Structure 1
Amino acid sequence: MFKPLSITLALAAAFPQLANAEAAADPARVIVTGSNIRVTEKEGAAAIEVLTAKDIAASGKTSIADVIRSLAANSGNSYNEQYTGSFSAGTAGVSLRGLGQKNTLVLVNGKRVSPYATAQDLQEVFVDLNSLPMAAVQRIEVLKDGASSIYGSDAVAGGVNIILYQEFKGTEVTVEGGASTQGTGQTDRRAALQTGFGSLADNGYSLVFALDAQQRSKLQQTDVDWMRGSDFRSQQNGSLAWTPTNYYGTDATKLLGGVQGPLQLTPYGAISDGKQGQVLAYNPAEYKTLIPAVQRVHASVRGSLQLTPELVAYADLLYSYSRADQTFGAPLTVSSSLRAWNNKSQKLDTIGATLPVGHPNNPGTTPVAITATLFDLGPRLKADKVDFYRALGGVKGQLAGWDVDASLGRSASTLEETVQNFVNRYEFEKVLADGSYNFADQSKNSEAVRNRLRLSTLRPAQSQLTTVDVSAARDLLDLPAGPLGIALGGQWRREGMNSNTSSAVLSGTELRPAINIINGQRDVSALFAEANAPLTSKLNLNVAGRADHYSDFGNAFSPKASLRYEAVPGLLLRGTVSRGFRAPSLPEITNSNSVSYGAVIDPRDPIAPKQARGVTNVTTANAALRPERSDNLNLGFVIAPSSTSSVGVDYYRIKTRGVIGTDSSDTIIAANRPGQVVRDADGRISTLYLQYSNQGDRVVSGVDFDLRQSYTSAAYGKLDLRAQLSRLFRYAAPLSEGEPLTNGAGNNYFGSLPGWRGVSHATWDIGNWSSTLTWNYTSGYDQTAQAARAGEHVSSNATYDLSVSRKLGKATTLTLAVQNLTDQRPSWDSSTAFFDFTQADPRGRFASLKLNTRF
């Protein structure tokens, strides 16, 4: 069990680095993430991980999302572009402690930005990291402690503060290109420009402009050799993951037509254990996008102007455009589970897929139900286009003895999602009735009939955020051990989200619609205060409190107290006790309806009680929701035996009350609740109805290790190591309201939550060369009974990244970066068909070359 820790300690002993070198080099009083008061301490009462621009460049990562998601504390339940079945396709988020993207607050220059235009997994409102600029980042500060007392809602697990350059002199240009070495054909190209002039100290003004662009090609499942056949029978609990279709009634062996398009005659038992006979089936890999094609452009401008010797006016402008293109899925399959939205009743209507007597494909004398895939219409395609901006202006400086900062900001994220080759319900009903569409031999269909059936739609969505922030801090009085610092402030913001669906869905035209309708707005006002008191020369106390008022659910108060004690030189003890909260998101509490699709095992199914079956989930909001409230405890120490070494250990425990969610489908099916479980004429589940509620407690605990050392030699240069390791002890929550807590640490009850996550960086600088080797480790986890894979264990996974840079001149650097140096495959996970994309990716070894020059 301690193998990851042993490896990390061994690496730390061999390749050291100075802890918090940036803070040590700058003894000036600064504001750090998680506080409003300027301090001078190198290490505070809260654990903060700092990634500098140099660290980011050495990682070989090409986006902010890739950099932040590689953190050891990002342990589970976060998503990136691999989540192609999402309502938020093409996005990426961060989930500290595995608590979900909705519990990690993302800031830019210490201020909020608009969340993505719509929700992830129907309820998670989050900041899309792919909308934020890469070229302008000076450093990233990751606070691994609850921060509601400073920032309010969403910071239960901590926060990520992306800090952009405030001043920059000269011009820097970067071009980069990369490709998979494994023959997948995937490429990635990037270019960046940053330029700036002026200095507040010398010129009374400064201006910084940054621009970066990225273009990456699409990766299909058929591009990856070990997945293209969808044949996983050699793996534990694996099968031939092909999809049976084109049959009469409920028996897949009663064939409708013969081999056509991608269909092949396949033994039914190879696909589903215990089945006999042959079926028509197809390989879904052809229709599966693993990573979408993306195009992104980010721009940022920062301007500062010295108004008086004490006051500075500043303005920030962020803008980004991104597009993600993917194959959404195979052509539509029509069957008895086909649905269309009824906007009047706010429910789904069942649309029959029954061939009438006399239809060319119905040889009998009675109507007959069918299951058939409309291959000749082509794969369903999806493109997501997102425009994001934040405009923020303010004044900061000295006013009447106070350090003040007042700002006004406006931010928005706008989505346009277009889909192609979906199916028109009314035209389908016509061709079903008049026999003009041939299901058994689709090559005989005319293009005119196909075009009648094809449907393209547009889904719009937008989120908006308006903020007013005012804060003031000063030293109130001198204590024997130093000044007593205080900070006061207030915030007002308006949050709004209007995530709609297409007109084709609202009119009932689109078959099998996926819906995520969110329409709500609320105002939030807050007052906060903080005090920092040096009780002795070695002991420091910080207390803070914040009161928030929401126009929908009411009030929340978040206090915090922390101690920092330098017991002896080189030994720091620290601890924080705080309360936090997460306000119900607008999808959870406001006017919201969603329709999504999943698979369940129904013991009462009259045909296949042990086989997974696709169902429709209808989820509604709940205006009576209360906020989730948390109690946070963090205890830790930092040992620094020398100026070139440190070891940090921090324990955390987060207990959340009133966690918002829906009952699991397993629980609803087991209870067979009337009104929540809807069955078709054959007695098979067609629809599950769910509603959000405050369901119970959740307890999460673990420990973080941070190891840093440095060696310097005149002959051999400098050798550094930064090693972070996170151990999840407990992640306990009820499976449904009223049930006892179930521990999800080390298994996938609540998403895949490995017990260990580790990242170590060894950097060697000598002469004009700089090399960084990164070790990424994720421990294995158990399958659960919910996944119908009890007893199966998903193996651990370790990958290595290498970055080698050579200075070609005083201002030009050439870098070779290789991600997944050993071409390690993701670990097999039968509950997800092949691997869990929240823990790994399928790209294999990927190499890139980057040229950077500054003038």
Structure 2
Amino acid sequence: MFTRNFARTLRAGTALPALSLATSLFVVPAFAQDTAPTSTPPTTASTPSQSQAAPAADDAEIVVTGSLFATRVTTSPVTTVTAESLDQRGISTVQDGLQRLAANNGPTLTNSFSANGAFAGGASGISLRGLTTNSTLVLFDGLRAAYYPLADDATRNFVDLNTIPDDIVDRVEVLKDGASSSYGADAIAGVVNIITKRSFTGLSARAEAGVSQDGIAATQRFSVTAGTGDLDRDGFNAYISGFYYHADAVSTRDLRRPFNSDDQTAIGGPNNLINGDNFGTTAAGSNLYVAPGSGGRYQLLGSGCANGTLIQTTAAQQAASGLVPTSMCQQDMTNRYGVVAPEIDRFGFTAHVAKTFGESTEAYLELNFQQSRSQYSGLPSSIYANAPAGIYYPPYSTRGSGPSFAPGSGALTLPVYVCAARVNCTAANGTLNPNNPFAASGQTALLIGGMPNITRYDESRSRVYRAAAGINGSFGDDWNYKIDATAMHTDLRRTSDGYIYIQHLLDVIADGTYNFVNPSANSAAIQNYLAPTLNTDASSDLYQVQASVSKALFQLPGGPVQLAVGGSLFYEAVDSPSANSDINGPTQRYFTINAFGTEGHRTVTSAFGELSVPVFEFLELNASGRYDHYSTGQSNFSPKVGAKIKPFEMLTLRGNWSRGFRIPSFGEANALPTTGYVTNSAGLFNDAYLAQYGCSVATFSTACPQYLRTASYGQTTLASPDLKPEKSRSITLGAVFQPIRNVSLSVDYFNIKKTDAITSLSSGVALQAYYAGNPIPAGYTIIPDAADPAHPGALPRVAYVQSHYVNANTQKAEGIDFAANGRFRFGDVTWTSNLDATLMLELSTTLPDGTRQTYVDTLGNFNLTAGTGTFRWRGSWMNSFAIGNYSLTGTANYTSGYNLSAMDQGNAYEDCGLAPSPAYTGCRVKSYFTFDLNATAKIADKFTIYANVLNLFDRLPGVDPVTYGAYLYNPVQAGDNIYGRRFTVGAKLNF
């Protein structure tokens, strides 16, 4: 399989990157990423600070993530990232550094995506191997952390990377291998272990500010850490640390064309400004329009144009649809309301105390508090007839003679009369409706559009409280022990403002208290009644105690046989009530607020062990295993075996076979029905169906009505408490070549197969069956939308596809990691270099019927990646040159392009099936290359200044008209480089 996939990769056009990276392995010697972090490779500490001991000798041994024993080269690949290495690259936060790892692929969750309607708004998660955020385990000092209370896509539990206390992080070790045998659930794709400083002495302070050359995306960072006592000499150390970080919000209008406008004509695309060509009941912009209830053309309600430019529609536009107004507001909704990234404020405090007892015992206590706030203003408030909030809300309702949603129109009906009673209003007990211009003639009015003066606002504020304590040492006949405990609690408050409460909307229409003709004339009280502020509180908890003992048993030719055993007990819980529950009925809720909610808790008892057998100096075997039992009834045993072979001094071969598991998330097992939204694509339809609307698949993006081509359908997934754990089988094979001192090259092949994968099933199968007039497959429920009033006889589009979570699929991830690290001296110049690259050979899903969907080099899997795709290549190459007190570092970053298709959306592999028609952007999104430059100068003994330029050549990403996590670009491929060239300056003070 590996040979076939690798050959296919070369044939698919990746031969040149493959050869370039392979060549780099031999022309760019550097330190191996698997060596001890204290050996000063470029991906670890550069020069020791006062918080660190001097670099250890090359034969020093350390304890690394994934093993209970001291070792220099593990049987699993481990990448180490430190705060110093991030400083070298000009990266401000650990979260941002982890997002840039080559092994982090498409399903990652970024801060920018969370400002575009993501369920887990305000958070960031990592996805190793493209297997999503729930298959990568994040640890703090080897202990579990509390989940973010909201789930990614309402299903995936993950740890928010924004909760990392940046300024006390010593290093982050990323284990790129299955590790359930050591850590239990969720470590299928790998482990991210955030390791904090063991001790700190002195005073360190930092101030930093950055901004793009266009004056956007400004950031500020301030921190101070102070400590006393030398732990090794005095037997005591204590330090405190505090930080503040701020990032400005970025609006879509701040970006350059074409990423800031609905007008895509400059790149050969359509003009999607709200105008007479696309006007409709769900595409009227942020102005209000009315039409006679008996039918007829819409007209602006009130005088003038509150938002946009008043234009006269053409005769052709009016002839195309009897609904198009003669005069209307032309609007660029993306430019006016779009959001790229939220405003972020973070601050936190840490206190750490460590003490040694005698010659072999050390204890510590650490307390952390951190608050993170993410906020942004979005689209105008909607008065649509559908409430996409997790359940199906009928497109109309009746309330006697009061207001209603007109059957089949998708529009609100304004009554002829209004009265205080709000029902059965007549001339005898009420007055003519002041908002209905047709009331005097006895006609109701249809109302569509968006509120011109109410904009949605969202804020997520999380507070994280964490305590950790531990003791380690030795006793008896060379027994070593380690006991750790942690408690972590997250409080999350979500604030939503500017969202229309459905019942209150019906109320103010029925009694006439809201002025729709001139919305700015309404009082603050009536505005707040129509769109009351919603605060929703959620929380998560994690409590864990873990203990292990180890001992060298006896000697073999290669060294001592070591045995370690241990146990763990932890409790985890999530309490995340729905922000928009329908428990009181379909009108007692808000328009458009996601209705995700879940509550659950479980206790997990575990036993684990590891055996290291150095048979000979050139052969070491390793075996580990862990048994986990959940109070919810699931149990699992996870074994792992590995070997290191050293045929000669310069070469180490390594390999592992393991089994792992992922426990069903609280969102999958306990959640309310949840709905995600995907924009319609031509590939879902067929010509026979589209002929009802006067268009075809070939003319979908130009001739089909707005009702079809820009609408989204809801994928509603129903919780399933009887789900089994997902199971995985992982194989890694690698080689580490160290030809000379301070030079290391490594290549690692990975192959992960996940069975019983929990899935909501692909909606494409059900959608295509519906539009083809075929029976709906078992396991799906199709809920049609309201009929299009312009095509009342046509089969309505799909509003929702419902299905349960099931253990059904098999997923496979396969690829190769490359690393080259080194450090050289040429006189007074020190050159360090680090290459980190990943080639994905396969990411695929096999469905229960045997159908195989493959996603590498496409936008799939939508269920995993939210349409951000699976990149074939991702990598970076850092080179740093230091002379005296000065250093200059350049980093090249590369992410490959992809085809605009996805097999889980009804496409064939790489058939361009998601591209607009005509495909004005072509069938591929081009690859993306950027270059960063960072300079540091130590201008005094204790004072250092630095400056960097990210995206030095000011390159913008390729146009992507499909990915829905951002507008016209891929937020994972582009990252912050969408802002163009960006500058940061800062200063550090150390005493």
TM interval, shorter chain, is: over 0.9
Which ranges in structure 1 are unaligned for 5 or more consecutive residues? none
Letter in 2 for 1:753: T
Instruction: Tell me if structure 1 keeps the 8 A contact 2:102–2:838.
Output: yes
| Cα offset, 1:379, TM superposition | 1.1
Select which of 448, 454, 460 maps to 1:371. Answer: 448
C-alpha separation between the residues in 1 aligned to 2:240 and 2:312?
A: 61
C-alpha separation between the residues in 1 aligned to 2:28 and 2:622?
A: 35
Is the counterpart of residue 847 in structure 1 residue 897 in structure 2? Answer: no
Select which of 458, 471, 482 maps to 1:395. Answer: 471
1:79 — aligned with what? 109
Select which of 238, 246, 250 maps to 1:215. Answer: 246
2:5 — aligned with what? none
Letter in 1 for 2:228: F
1:108 — aligned with what? 140
Instruction: Tell me if structure 2 keeps the 8 A contact 1:339–1:349.
Output: no
Q: 1:357 to 1:140 in 2, by over 3 A?
A: closer
1:774 — aligned with what? 891
2:935 — aligned with what? 804
C-alpha separation between the residues in 2 aligned to 1:275 and 1:308?
A: 88
1:731 — aligned with what? 843
C-alpha separation between the residues in 2 aligned to 1:267 and 1:596?
A: 37
Q: 1:444 to 1:52 in 2, by over 3 A?
A: closer
Instruction: Tell me if structure 1 keeps the 8 A contact 2:670–2:719.
Output: yes
Which ranges in structure 2 are unaligned for 5 or more consecutive residues? 1-13, 40-55, 275-282, 398-404, 406-410, 417-432, 694-704, 771-775, 788-795, 906-912, 917-921
1:838 — aligned with what? 972
Where 1:670 maps in the other structure, the secondary structure is helix
| Cα offset, 1:826, TM superposition | 2.0
C-alpha separation between the residues in 1 aligned to 2:157 and 2:220?
A: 30
1:623 — aligned with what? 721
Instruction: Tell me if structure 2 keeps the 8 A contact 1:818–1:847.
Output: yes
Letter in 2 for 1:334: I
C-alpha separation between the residues in 1 aligned to 2:581 and 2:596?
A: 14
Select which of 362, 365, 369 maps to 1:319. Answer: 369
2:624 — aligned with what? 544
Note the alpha carbon deviations across 1:720-743, whole angstroms, 9 max, x for none. Answer: 210011100100114x65351211
Instruction: Tell me if structure 2 keeps the 8 A contact 1:548–1:555.
Output: yes
C-alpha separation between the residues in 1 aligned to 2:27 and 2:881?
A: 12
| Cα offset, 1:544, TM superposition | 0.6
Instruction: Tell me if structure 2 keeps the 8 A contact 1:207–1:303.
Output: yes
More strand by share: 1
Rg (Cα) greater in structure: 2
2:759 — aligned with what? 661
Select which of 621, 634, 645 maps to 1:565. Answer: 645
| Cα offset, 1:799, TM superposition | 0.9
| Cα offset, 1:681, TM superposition | 4.6
2:169 — aligned with what? 137
Select which of 561, 573, 583 maps to 1:496. Answer: 573
Which has the higher mean CA deviation after the structures are superposed, 603-612 or 669-678? 603-612
| Cα offset, 1:50, TM superposition | 1.4
Is the counterpart of residue 789 in structure 1 residue 906 in structure 2? Answer: no
Note the alpha carbon deviations across 1:140-198, whole angstroms, 9 max, x for none. Answer: 111111111001111111111111110122111111111111233x3111111122222
Is the counterpart of residue 260 in structure 1 residue 365 in structure 2? Answer: no
Select which of 120, 143, 161 maps to 1:88. Answer: 120
| Cα offset, 1:449, TM superposition | 4.0
Note the alpha carbon deviations across 1:49-102, whole angstroms, 9 max, x for none. Answer: 112332122121111111111111112211221011123222111111111111
Which has the higher mean CA deviation after the structures are superposed, 260-269 or 451-460? 260-269
Note the alpha carbon deviations across 1:534-560, whole angstroms, 9 max, x for none. Answer: 111101100011111112241111110
Instruction: Tell me if structure 2 keeps the 8 A contact 1:340–1:425.
Output: no
Letter in 2 for 1:431: V
Where 2:153 maps in the other structure, the secondary structure is coil
1:193 — aligned with what? 224
Q: 1:248 to 1:337 in 2, by over 3 A?
A: farther
Q: 1:323 to 1:15 in 2, by over 3 A?
A: same
Note the alpha carbon deviations across 1:571-596, whole angstroms, 9 max, x for none. Answer: 11111111111111111112533344
| Cα offset, 1:239, TM superposition | 4.7
| Cα offset, 1:44, TM superposition | 1.9
1:614 — aligned with what? 712
1:637 — aligned with what? 735
Where 1:411 maps in the other structure, the secondary structure is strand
Letter in 2 for 1:702: G
Where 1:98 maps in the other structure, the secondary structure is coil
Where 1:36 maps in the other structure, the secondary structure is coil
Instruction: Tell me if structure 1 keeps the 8 A contact 2:819–2:834.
Output: yes
Select which of 436, 444, 469 maps to 1:361. Answer: 436
1:697 — aligned with what? 810
Instruction: Tell me if structure 1 keeps the 8 A contact 2:119–2:152.
Output: yes
Select which of 591, 607, 622 maps to 1:527. Answer: 607
| Cα offset, 1:503, TM superposition | 7.6
- The share of aligned pairs that are identical, in percent, is 27
Letter in 1 for 2:436: N
C-alpha separation between the residues in 1 aligned to 2:583 and 2:94?
A: 37
Note the alpha carbon deviations across 1:342-362, whole angstroms, 9 max, x for none. Answer: 9xxx97795524324525436
C-alpha separation between the residues in 2 aligned to 1:318 and 1:444?
A: 48
2:857 — aligned with what? 746
C-alpha separation between the residues in 1 aligned to 2:754 and 2:263?
A: 42
| Cα offset, 1:136, TM superposition | 0.8
Select which of 262, 280, 294 maps to 2:344. Answer: 294
Structure 2 counterparts to residues 41-80 of structure 1, below 5 A: 41=72, 43-80=73-110
Note the alpha carbon deviations across 1:397-437, whole angstroms, 9 max, x for none. Answer: 11333211112211111100111111122221023334554
1:467 — aligned with what? 544
- Taking only aligned residues, the RMSD between alpha carbons, in angstroms, comes to 2.8
| Cα offset, 1:281, TM superposition | 4.7
Letter in 2 for 1:738: D
Q: 1:265 to 1:654 in 2, by over 3 A?
A: farther
TM-score w.r.t. length of structure 1? 0.93
Letter in 2 for 1:835: Y
Which has the higher mean CA deviation after the structures are superposed, 746-755 or 257-266? 257-266
Where 2:505 maps in the other structure, the secondary structure is helix
Instruction: Tell me if structure 1 keeps the 8 A contact 2:211–2:219.
Output: yes
TM-score w.r.t. length of structure 2? 0.80
Note the alpha carbon deviations across 1:745-790, whole angstroms, 9 max, x for none. Answer: 1111213111100111000011111111011100000111637328
Where 1:498 maps in the other structure, the secondary structure is strand
Q: 1:177 to 1:495 in 2, by over 3 A?
A: same
Is the counterpart of residue 386 in structure 1 residue 444 in structure 2? Answer: no
